[in-house]
Amino acid sequence: MLWNTYIKGFKNFLQAERGLSHHSIQAYSKDVEKLATFAEQKYGDIPVSKIQLDHLRQFIIELSQIGLDSRSQSRIISGLRAFFKFLLIEDLISQNPTDDLELPKIGNKIPDVLSVTEVKKLLESIDMSLPHATRNRSILELLYACGLRVSELVNLQIDFLYLDLGMIKVRGKNDKERLIPISPRAAKFLLLYLDERNKDKVNEGFKHIVFLNRRGKQLTRHMIYHIIKDATIQAGLKQNISPHTLRHCFATHLIEGGADLRTVQELLGHASILTTEIYTHVNNEYLRQTIEKFHPLNRRNED
């Protein structure tokens, strides 16, 4: 069975030709591995070249039966499409079985968003007398002030900080770099953390990384989730808050404050403005207040 050989070639293709991040490459390859396991269990030692549309449809049905939601199914299908496109490019198959494979219908999921008051409560929940409090406060401030992805935060580099200009540079999806303004408040906490960081022992291989753990090594994504979970508890908030929640808040609060969609798209690093449009949702109370304030027939007649 050549599945493993093809998957290895697929990984090399994604890195060399598509320039995807390690995280994305691993996710794509795991999707194909799921199909390989299903095909072996269902159809025996079936070669990749014999996979047809019906096989793929049965695979999606099984994903649905084990409780995988439509969004997760769509992501897996995207990975399979990339895999079979690679096989077609390499002349390893003559026809792409994913051409007529339909994506499950999914609605735009409205992200959970905190109010400005709740965000402030979360940020101020950090007990500044505790070890690593300055680092943790800086992390929360930066996520909200700049709308960073968690991967962008943990990979932030010292050389990408232009605090004298009020800017930071991040490397986003597909290694695309973008400049983001940093607020004076977030810059203040970042400078406080950097001052502490410079006094601590830093592992030789991580001197270029901004946020470090107590061993002087790069923080993991899991650790960022843990920091936020602990802050959520301390703040007495009931929502399930993640790093992405603060990114949602950054975008939504900007748009509610009057920022245009194109600017927010640029700040978030979205390739398509369609992705950014999900942040245009606002609650009904905000809509009502906007109409009452700005609609000409709702203004009090002072004549």
pLDDT digits (tens, 9 = 90+) for 229-278: 999 999 999 998 999 999 999 998 998 888 888 898 999 998 877 677 77
Residue 277 Cα distances to 41, 252, 280, angstroms = 41, 10, 5
Using DSSP's 3-state secondary structure scheme, residue 147 falls into: coil
Same domain? For 120 and 85 the reply is: no
Enclosing domain of residue 79: 3-89
Whole-angstrom Cα distance, residue 129 to residue 229? Answer: 19
Does 149 participate in catalysis according to the annotation?
A: yes
* List 28, 144, 193, 279, catalytic entry: 279
Same domain? For 50 and 182 the reply is: no
* List 81, 135, 137, 149, catalytic entry: 149
Does 244 participate in catalysis according to the annotation?
A: yes
Same domain? For 43 and 129 the reply is: no
Asked which of 71, 89, 107 is the last residue of a domain, the reply is: 89
Same domain? For 136 and 187 the reply is: yes
The answer, yes or no, to whether residue 210 has pLDDT greater than 80, is yes
* List 135, 247, 248, 253, catalytic entry: 247
Asked whether residue 137 is assigned to any structural domain, the reply reads yes
Q: Is the pTM of this model over 0.75?
A: no
Task: Read off the pLDDT of each residue in 10-23 and give the average, rounded to a whole number.
Answer: 86
Q: Which two tokens stand for residue 24?
A: 């994305």
Number of domains in the chain: 2
Asked whether residue 102 is assigned to any structural domain, the reply reads no
Task: Read off the pLDDT of each residue in 7-34 and give the average, rounded to a whole number.
Answer: 88
Report the helix count and the strand count for the chain, using DSSP H and E.
Answer: 13, 3
Does 109 participate in catalysis according to the annotation?
A: no
Does 281 participate in catalysis according to the annotation?
A: no
Does 279 participate in catalysis according to the annotation?
A: yes
The confidence score (pLDDT) of residue 7 equals 92
Residue 90 Cα distances to 85, 177, 185, angstroms = 9, 30, 52
Same domain? For 128 and 229 the reply is: yes
CATH number for 253: 1.10.443.10
The answer, yes or no, to whether residue 284 has pLDDT greater than 50, is no
* List 57, 169, 173, 178, catalytic entry: 173
Same domain? For 67 and 154 the reply is: no
Does 247 participate in catalysis according to the annotation?
A: yes
